[in-house]
Structure formats: structure tokens, C-alpha cells
Amino acid sequence: MNNERVVELLRDLIAIPSVNPVYDPASPGEGGMAACVEAWATGLGLPVERQNVFPGRDNILVRLAGPEGAPILLFEAHMDTVGIDGMSAPFAPEVRDDRVYGRGACDTKGSLAAMMAAVERLVSDGAALACTVELLAAVDEETSGKGALAFV
């Protein structure tokens, strides 16, 4: 997998404010992240399903189809972050000493970027899949986990 692509995706995701509204009632929540993941998937020609969990806060499910009736491999990461109190530039990603800094870099925009890059690689390689691969970008993990609960 191309680490530069993972870093590029991660920088893009960090730049999108996605503070859970519980921490900041003025926050737009995960709307920008959902739009980004949806645009990324449709750009790859993959189908996207939106699952409304709260008003304006949707889970995004991306599907890379395998054989009919094959098992499903699910990648899941959440799109919301905790608050930004005490951070000087939380949505300005910075690469320093081979690390990426910014709100959500570790929890869990980094994981989401890696999952997105893996799906990109599967699409670009045109590999014959033994399973269906799904990527779920979920809302509201930082407070109640209702995004994941709505999915299951």
C-alpha cells in the first residue's frame, strides 16, 4: 500500500471539522466527513448507502462487491472527534518526524484513511475478491456509539 496516499487522505480528513455536537453544540458534526467519504467512493465508482442516525448525521457504507453469497469483510471507523479545547490549530494537519498531527489523527481518522487506501488499492488492482468488502464510516462513536448500533 502507498503510505504517501494514506498520509494524503489523512491530511484531507483532519482538515474537516467533525467534533461531536455533544462537545460543541455549534459543530456541524460529521456532515463534512460523510460528504468527503461519499465523494471519494463515488469517484471510485463504488456504491454508497447513507444511513441516517441523527438529523444531518449519516453513516456512510461503501461496498466493493465480491461473488454472490460470499462472506463480508467489514472495515469500520468513526468520523466524529472529541472537542478541540486547548488545541491551537486542530484542523491544520501537520507532518512532523514521520507522524501526522491534528484532531482525529489517531482516533480515528488515521484508521479511516488506511481503510480507504486499502479499498482504493483493491479497486485499482482489479483483484478477484473472495468476499465482499464494506467500509462503514460511522457517526457518534465518541459519545453513545449510536452510529454503529444503528448499523447492526
Q: Give catalytic residues, as residue numbers.
A: 80, 141
Q: Which neighbouring-strand residues pair with 101?
A: 94
- Whether the Cβ atoms of residue 42 and residue 116 lie closer than 8 Å to each other: no
Prior bond of 108 cis (ω within 30°): yes
Determine the residue type at 22: V
- Whether the Cβ atoms of residue 101 and residue 32 lie closer than 8 Å to each other: no
